[in-house]
Structures are given as structure tokens and as C-alpha cells.
Structure 1
Amino acid sequence: MIVQLYARDVGAGTPLVLLHAFPLSSAMWLAQREDLGRRFRVITPDLRGFGGSVLGEDEPSVDLMADDVAALLRRKGIDRAVVCGVSMGGYVAMALCRRHPERLLGLVLADTKASADPEQARRTRLRQAERLERDGDTRVLLEEVLPFLLGPTTMRQRALVHGRVRGLVQAAPARAAAWAQRAMAARGDSFDTLRGVRAPALVLRGEEDGLSTEADARAMADALPNAELQTIPRAGHLPPVEQPDLFNQTVTEFATALSRTTT
């Protein structure tokens, strides 16, 4: 069953839908709303269960998360948008490509991967989901997920960024985080989906990302028929938070070029 997502909606112009990473919320996009919102219509939903969005009672599914986003676009009267997903948001963006390709004006995949989880990673997600449900808090995410979200440069030089991300992880509802982990563990390979994408695409990766490798990024770019691959220096798994100016500049150039070709 579709849930009605809470979303912040700022600015005007080409719609830009930003899908947040796990286990954060649309609060991670503050710098993008402030900057990109001066050039585009920036829509930042909370994926189901996070931030201001309800979880519902459905079985965990990335596809269902994509259906939620498509329903949000319908409610807002948006035919097509540039869809940008980071990490878990990238999985949702790829599911949107598969299930609602007509909604896609452009695609940005950042610090994510098109492959399914290997068995060990899948077991880790399920173990964390069980602990989240048992403990009712996010301690397991602070212990096992947070250390991998930020790059070494951020950890050395950007204490405020680390504190902010830690706060966002701590604020994640345990039940929603468990649901999302189960949904991501169950997702399949998306390379066939990417090979069928006709919209222009941009693949981004933080240079210091230890979760999504350079090979993962290159594999997505190679599968997409019309894609560019760029690296954000001195950033880990969350370039929009760690290097917002560089991230925003790169996305601005991509979305502006798209706007020119569609007007």
C-alpha cells in the first residue's frame, strides 16, 4: 500500500527530487535546498518511516519505496523530474527507473551500487534489523554504520559534519531502519534496469567512500547508455553533506544542461 510521503518542496523550475541515504532523512539535504533551490524546484521526501513519513504495515520492499515517490510526483502534478539518489536513495531511484521510467527526466546515482548484496552483507543487514527491533534504538547503527558513512578527511577536519550526521543516525526510528535494512537485503540486481534507461545520467562517488567502490560506480556508468562518471574529492559515502559546494555545482551543471535540451 502506498504511503503519503512527507516532503519539503522549495524553489521553481526544473524539478529535482533528492532521495536520502540510509539511515538518514531529508534533513541531510539542507545545503541542497538552500543552494539548488535558487535554480530548481527541489523536492526532498522522507522515505517511508523516516523523518515525517509514516512506515505503514507492508512487507519491506525497495520497489514499494519507489512507488511512494512516484505517487508523490503524481500528487504534485510533476510529469518528469531529475531524480537523484544517494546510497539507499540510489536503490530507490533505480527501482523508480524500472517501475516508473516515464517519470525520469534525468538520473543521478551517488555512492550507491546496482549489484545485489553479497551473502555476507545481506546477513549483516538482517542481523542489524533484528537488533534494531529487539533494542528499539539505533545503537547498532551508531556502532556499525556511522563509522563508514564519512571519509577520513571529514573525520579529521569536519567535526561539525560528523556531529550532524551522528545526530541524524541517532534520530532514525529503529523500526523504520530495520524495515529499510530488510528491504535493501531483499533487493535484486539492477544492471538490466540501468541498461534500459534512456534519460541522461550522472554517476557520482565520493573519492574516499569505503562502502561503494570505484568499480561499483564504473559498472553503473558502463551499464547506462548515456552516463557520465565523476568523483567528488575529499568525501566519503555522503558527498552532499561532506562536500556540498562541489556536489551542488556538479548537479547544477548536469540539471542545467538537461533543462536546455528539454526547452
Structure 2
Amino acid sequence: MPQVQLNGQTIQFEDTGGPGLPVLFSHGFLMDQEMFAAQREALRGEFRVISWDQRGFGRSEFDGQPFTYWDSARDALALLDHLQIERAVLAGMSQGGYLSLRAALLAPQRVQALVLIDTQAGPEHEDKRAAYRQLLDTWASVGPVDALAQTIATIIIDDPAENARWIAKWRARPHATIREPGRCLLERDDLRPRLSEIRCPALVIHGSRDTAIEPAQAQALREGLPRGEGVVLIEGAAHAANLTHPQAVNLPLLAFLRRIAAAGPAL
């Protein structure tokens, strides 16, 4: 897997290459780029698909210092620079959506369109923040023990086979590394007042059974984006809709990307 030094981090990424419209996939919290394997296979050949492991996750080497999703957005833009990609579609799930929205604000000329999967523009709701902080403190102290791991896997994935696979990945990582990514997640700023500044087309996809970010938040996100399309609700999916329901996600995703590619760079 290729790697590159970006903003003091060693970032692992994959790039299918080719002349197609570039699409950069950014994963959710506790996940890594492998969660987009089904999308990579569905899109490769027709699109140039790039995926990467963000700070604190996957195989990327994280310096352990405090950071925000604005820093992660700069990492994404720096990866595009490294790959000599001037303009791309940014597709992000959950925290991947947080950084993709911020990249669109930092460098609107670089973002041809957005695909926002099970994400939102607001901060963590106060009612959930305290409970999530407790979960993350326990994780950082003793690791993803059985009850904790199952609880979080059910919130994010809610599929027995996938739950077990990702729990095994979580347990293979040093558990204390969750502290700074967790702080970044829980203390993120509110983008809702700035959504009107994002002028590129945006597709919003959301699991109907997402309890981490309720579907109403997806609707609010779509309504706040000047060129947001209607919300594609993935029936039966929890938070990681693209992982557990790839066919249902890939159909609208492909249709959207084909429209963006056909419209060309002047869109």
C-alpha cells in the first residue's frame, strides 16, 4: 500500500489510477479505508478511486498531537496535491463527511462535488456527548473489551459478521491512540451556519436505522446545501450504510458520479 508524508503524518492510501473522474473516499470514526472496498470495486475502471487512512486510524502513522477536522481536510487536500489531482469528488462517511465539508469550504475550487454518507454538519449533540466521552475514556484506558466493543460495533455497523471483523481490527491497535481522534470528534465545531457557502453539487445518503446520526440530520444537511439533492435513504442500514448495504448505496452513487462526470469540470 503506498504511503506519503503529509502535514507531519505518514498517510497510507490506495489509488486505482486511470483517466476517470477522481473520487476521494474518506472513512468514518474507528474505521479505515477498507470500509470502501465494495465502492472501489464498483467504480474502478470508470472512475479514479482514491481511499486513505486518516490520522489515528488504519495503517497511517499518527503523531498523537491534537488536531481538528480542519487539519484532516488539509490532509485530504494535500493527498490530492501529492497525486497531482486538481479537482475531485469528495465522498465521506460520518467523520469523512465532516472533513469533506471542511475541504469544500477551504478550497471550493478543488471540490467538484460531495457525496455525504451518514454524516451531518452540526456538532455532537449534548445528550450524546457525555455518553460517548465515557465510552471513549474506557476504550483509551482498557481497550475495546467485549461489552464496549459490541455496543460500538452495533451503533456503527449492526451486522454480526462485520461487527466481529471490525472488532478484531480495533483490538489489534494500541487502545490509547483513540484519545486525540475522540477529542476531535466530540469537540468539532458547528458548520451549519456556513453550509450556504458550499456551492458544488452534493448527494446525501443515509441509513434508515442510523442511531448515531438520525435521518432527520441528513435531511437538514441536504436542505442547508444550496445544491444538495434529495436524501437517498438506505432501508435497514445503520450508520455504516455503504459497508453493510453496498448495492443499495452503489446504485445512486454511480448515477450521481456519472452525471458529474458528464457535466465536466465547468460544473
TM-score, length-scaled by structure 2? 0.88
Match of 1:179 in 2: 180
Match of 2:242 in 1: 240
In 2, Cα distance between equivalents of 1:138 and 1:163: 12
In 1, Cα distance between equivalents of 2:211 and 2:148: 16
In 1, Cα distance between equivalents of 2:239 and 2:166: 11
For the aligned residue pairs, the C-alpha RMSD in angstroms reads 1.9
In 1, Cα distance between equivalents of 2:264 and 2:227: 16
Residue 7 in 1 paired to residue 13 in 2?
Answer: yes
Q: How many positions carry a matched residue from both structures? A: 256
**Structure 2 vs 1, CA of residues 172 and 237 (structure 1 numbering), >3 Å: closer, same or farther?**
farther
**Structure 2 vs 1, CA of residues 122 and 200 (structure 1 numbering), >3 Å: closer, same or farther?**
same
SS at match of 2:92: strand
Task: Determine which structure has greater relative contact order: mean sequence separation of CA pairs < 8 Å that are 6+ residues apart, divided by chain length.
Answer: 1
In 2, Cα distance between equivalents of 1:261 and 1:149: 34
SS at match of 2:203: strand
Residue 29 in 1 paired to residue 36 in 2?
Answer: yes
Match of 2:122 in 1: 115
The gaps in structure 1 that reach 5 residues or longer are none
Residue 97 in 1 paired to residue 98 in 2?
Answer: no
In 2, Cα distance between equivalents of 1:170 and 1:220: 33
The residue identity in structure 1 corresponding to 2:237 is A
In 1, Cα distance between equivalents of 2:124 and 2:241: 22
TM-score, length-scaled by structure 1? 0.90
CA contact (8 A) 2:23 2:47 kept: yes
In 2, Cα distance between equivalents of 1:28 and 1:206: 15
1:234-261 deviation line (CA, Å, top 9, x unaligned): 2111111111112112111111100111
The gaps in structure 2 that reach 5 residues or longer are 1-6
- Pairwise CA distance, 1:11: 4.2
Match of 1:262 in 2: 264
2:91 paired residue among 84, 90, 104: 84
CA contact (8 A) 2:53 2:59 kept: yes
Identity among equivalent positions (%) equals: 29
- Pairwise CA distance, 1:134: 2.1
The residue identity in structure 1 corresponding to 2:13 is A
1:164-202 deviation line (CA, Å, top 9, x unaligned): 333344345423322211001111111133211111000
**Structure 2 vs 1, CA of residues 72 and 103 (structure 1 numbering), >3 Å: closer, same or farther?**
same
**Structure 2 vs 1, CA of residues 26 and 90 (structure 1 numbering), >3 Å: closer, same or farther?**
same
The residue identity in structure 1 corresponding to 2:117 is A
Match of 1:74 in 2: 81
**Structure 2 vs 1, CA of residues 160 and 11 (structure 1 numbering), >3 Å: closer, same or farther?**
farther
